[in-house]
Chain A
Amino acid sequence: SAVISQKPSRDICQRGTSLTIQCQVDSQVTMMFWYRQQPGQSLTLIATANQGSEATYESGFVIDKFPISRPNLTFSTLTVSNMSPEDSSIYLCSGGPVDEQFFGPGTRLTVL
């Protein structure tokens, strides 16, 4: 299994600003993903973080709003840009060798 940490664990931000969330895995993993989870809801995939190339975004999510970096096999960042209250949510990263995926603890974002 992989142990995944995220920073920050929570933040309160003003609308119009940006927040970068970091995801660190304790071992090299092939696949990393970013999800969003509204309170009481299921997980929605935002994008696949590809090592050394541009992220692959799901329908409804765009690079300008959610730029993602993945400089190596253990680390990725997600930026939530030009935030609005609708971006308030929990953001989680996942990582794993192939199909098995382990989740970070999440970043709880509140946008005022």
Chain B
Amino acid sequence: GENVEQHPSTLSVQEGDSAVIKCTYSDSASNYFPWYKQELGKRPQLIIDIRSNVGEKKDQRIAVTLNKTAKHFSLHITETQPEDSAVYFCAASTSDSWGKFQFGAGTQVVVTP
């Protein structure tokens, strides 16, 4: 089955700096890669996703890149703000298992003013 590895487990950045979180996946059939942000005590919230026919996607300060050959994808947050502090999870799924995710272990991001 699919295995998703996520690094780093914790990330401390100064406000205004960039943050990068990396994930690798094992199943070459995976074709959908969402990123979720989870604040303490809250539900995971979908912040951005990418499909395997796209190499990069941006939404304001957030971008995701995908390298299908290397089987890894990354989340980039620019101009970080204190409200970006949260746990971020990457995930992967295949077209024959729509919506059924294998999650990474999560990255605790702390943005210090």
Which residues of A line the B interface, CB within 8 A?
1, 30-31, 33, 41-45, 48, 92, 94, 96, 98-106
> Quick check: A43 and B99 within 8 Å, CB to CB?
no
Q: Which 10 A-B pairs have the closest CB atoms?
A: A31-B99, A103-B43, A99-B32, A42-B103, A43-B103, A99-B98, A105-B43, A101-B99, A103-B44, A98-B98
User: Can you offer 9 A-B residue contacts whose CB atoms are under 8 A?
Assistant: A31-B100, A41-B106, A94-B99, A98-B98, A98-B99, A100-B99, A101-B46, A101-B101, A103-B44
Name A102's contact: one of B32, B46, B102, B106 (CB within 8 Å).
Answer: B46
| A-B interface contact total, Cβ < 8 Å | 54
Q: Do A100 and B43 have beta carbons less than 8 Å apart?
A: no
B35 adjacent to chain A (CB < 8 Å): no
Contact between chains at B101 and A45 (CB < 8 Å) = yes
